[in-house]
Structure 1
Amino acid sequence: MRNSYFQFKQFRVEQEKCAMKVCTDSCVFGAYVEVAEAERILDIGAGTGLLSLMVAQRSKAVIDAVEINPEAQLQAQENFNSSPWAERLLLHPMSLQEFSKQKPPTYDVILSNPPFFLSSLKSPDAARNTAKHTGELLFEDIISFAQQHLAMQGSLYLLLPPDEALYFAKLAEAAALYLRDTLHVYTSHKGKCIRHIQSYTFNALAAPVVKEFYIREEDKVTYTAAFEALLRDYYLAF
């Protein structure tokens, strides 16, 4: 039976109220994004609050977290309140569209593990659908918000499956948000690419940087040295 929480070195993520639980690719994402110099960060679609907590651990930023689902709102707030950074974690229980009407500040970093699987069949579970499929939150909504509220030298980070990542990149470029780099995340050496971690800026590059990241070795059991190094400050096992 899956635990109702995920224990990290400096915080715990309770997750029994959320349809989408803590998963490895989200942990890679949270540890990968560059936030050390950020003063203000926005987490779009906070869920359990995992990403906000991970970036709070290694930054001094004030972090706004937007979440539309009532159960996830309660869960994220509980996780924020019990963390060492509660005073810097601000939950906004509303949609991104509603939040954009609140005259939010400019952000140095905007990050999101947004609804995805544009063309896949929907699950019969409504909460899981909202968490995994575009419907409540469109890619265009994220791009529009970034155009208005991302600092000129800021970064927008996305975690998406490969097909959806390519689609997002086309939409973003048409809106003058340019792909800076992509991390292809693989389950293992010789395994499949399951996610792209993308960063976007307002500065166009001749060619975005593409890197590869492997979670496990070829035996599909042993974590790679790169994974251990990235998650060492978070995972109890390392």
Structure 2
Amino acid sequence: MKVCTDSCVFGAYVKVAEAQRILDIGTGTGLLSLMAAQRSKGLVEAVEINPAAQVQALQNFKISKWSDQLKLHSVSLQEFAKYNQQQYDVILSNPPFFLSSLKSTDEAKNAARHTEALFFQEILRFAQQHLTENGKLYLLLPPAEAAIFARLAKAHDLHLAEVLQIFTYHGGKCIRHIQSYTFNAVTAPDVRDFFIREEDKATYTSQFAELLRDYYLIF
């Protein structure tokens, strides 16, 4: 499973320094959990249903410097919700999504969006029950899917507080949104732009370099 640049931006962006307990939903190879553990002294728990990803995440956790902070739950989110008794200061997820624009028929698009909505509802139900009063839920999604999630969140008393719009380069297209949600009322979300590369499409921006300095060896 590839380590994507947008996932690295997400892992470096989420505010975890003061969190005592963090949950990574759909950890994959454990990238986001490992990045969170580097900036927090709290416990980082991860949920993953895919067997191959579970093996990789567990291996990555064990050989890291932060293994004592990391815990993997090899179950679905639905199963985890049945026995979990903990509350989390930060819940983060880069959930599986379907790029509906790649589907060839309206029927396929509708099916994909229906599947997304079902899983999004599971995340929201879990967050509503297990996020601390002043905690934050973070999502990384393409713009279209982010809009769907924002609409669904309203029914779960979660308010969109921040949006970081990630662009491939200056003058390029917006590829992802990082969203943060809170139980606290928000008049309007704080929306900002983030550019990975300059207009030459080769040079990293100072914005990117500053955020990823602690993770990328090239800076």
Judge same fold: TM > 0.5, yes or no.
yes
TM-score range, shorter chain: over 0.9
1:90 aligns with 2:71: yes
The equivalent position to 2:52 in structure 1, one of 71, 91, 108, is 71
Corresponding residue to 2:29 among 31, 38, 48: 48
- Specify the code of the residue in structure 1 equivalent to 2:84: K
CA contact (8 A) 1:67 1:91 kept: yes
Give the structure 2 partner of residue 233 of structure 1. Answer: 214
Q: Distance in 2 between matches of 1:137 and 1:221?
A: 38
Identity fraction in percent = 68
Query: Cα–Cα, structure 1 residues 221 and 118, in superposed 2: closer, same or farther, change >3 Å?
Result: closer
Find the aligned partners of 1:188 and 1:235 in 2 and give their Cα distance.
Answer: 18
What's the secondary structure of 1:155's corresponding residue? Answer: strand
RMSD of equivalent CA atoms: 1.6
- By how many angstroms is 1:135 displaced? 6.5
How do residues 193-208 of structure 1 correspond to structure 2 at under 5 angstroms? 193-208=174-189
Q: With structure 1 as the length reference, what TM-score do the two structures score? A: 0.85
Query: Please, which runs of 5 or more residues in structure 2 have no aligned partner?
Result: 104-113
SS at match of 1:37: coil
* Deviant stretches of 4+, over 6 Å: none
Corresponding residue for residue 10 of structure 1? none
User: Which amino acid in 1 is paired with 2:176?
Assistant: R
Q: CA deviation at 1:116?
A: 1.2
Q: How many residues align?
A: 209
Structure 1 stretches of 5 or more lacking a match? 1-19, 123-132
1:117 aligns with 2:101: no
Distance 2:207 2:82 in 1: 41
Equivalent residues of 1:48, 1:76 under 8 A apart: yes
Which residue of 10, 28, 42 corresponds with 2:9?
Answer: 28
Tell whether the 8 Å contact from 1:216 to 1:224 is kept in structure 2 after alignment. yes
Output the TM-score relative to the length of structure 2.
Answer: 0.92
Q: State the shift of 1:104 in Å.
A: 3.2
